[in-house]
Amino acid sequence: MSVVLLSFGIVGLAGLQMNGTKFNHSSYLRSQGTALAYDLADRVRANLCPNSDICPAYITDQGDVFDGNAGQRCDSVLGDLNNSEDMAAADLNQWKHCLEDRLPQGRGIVSLLAAGTSYEDQCEVEHAPASRDLLVIEVNWIDGRILGGGPRDCVVIRTEVRPL
């Protein structure tokens, strides 16, 4: 009888360990998504175009993917570029590769939200209108370990490009 009870206890512990590993990996993916979103926000702030709050080349949508440029892969160093627009395009392309490389089916959207505009993000969260224009960076991926690859997980950051 004690061997049967001990067996059930060991099987239960194995199940707990497996669930702990799943949730730990999900937390890791969320951390990666958050770090990548803030990485792009920092790149945008470092590369402001003349006479503009944000270079138009940073704006992207869900369907845009990495174009395969070997010099703009995730861990490569971007060389000298001619102007802010070229730097923005290279930054965005490199960011897309990082999303695809570090997150399962990772994708991202970058948009500029005009002051006074409300919107619903990919996480299905309704955002109230802001008093200033905001840069919105949304990162999403599929975590196949939980919910059998159910809905996409996402991270959304809203930040001012040029703070007061």
Euclidean distance between CA atoms 116 and 129, whole angstroms: 5
Query: Any residues with CB less than 8 A from the CB of 122 and at least 6 apart, and which?
Result: 109, 138, 140, 152, 154, 156
Euclidean distance between CA atoms 161 and 73, whole angstroms: 25
Q: What is the pTM of this model?
A: 0.80
The structure tokens listed for 118 are 């409300």
The structure tokens listed for 48 are 């402001």
pLDDT by 10s per residue, the chain, length 164: 888 877 877 877 777 777 666 667 888 999 999 999 999 999 888 887 777 777 888 888 777 888 888 888 888 888 777 788 888 888 999 999 999 999 998 999 998 888 898 888 887 888 888 888 888 999 999 887 655 556 778 898 888 876 53
Terminal Cα-to-Cα distance of the chain (whole angstroms)? 71
What residue ranges in the chain does DSSP mark as E strands?
A: 107-113, 119-120, 126-127, 134-141, 153-159
Contact 62, 106 (CB under 8 A): no
Contact 110, 60 (CB under 8 A): yes
Euclidean distance between CA atoms 131 and 97, whole angstroms: 33
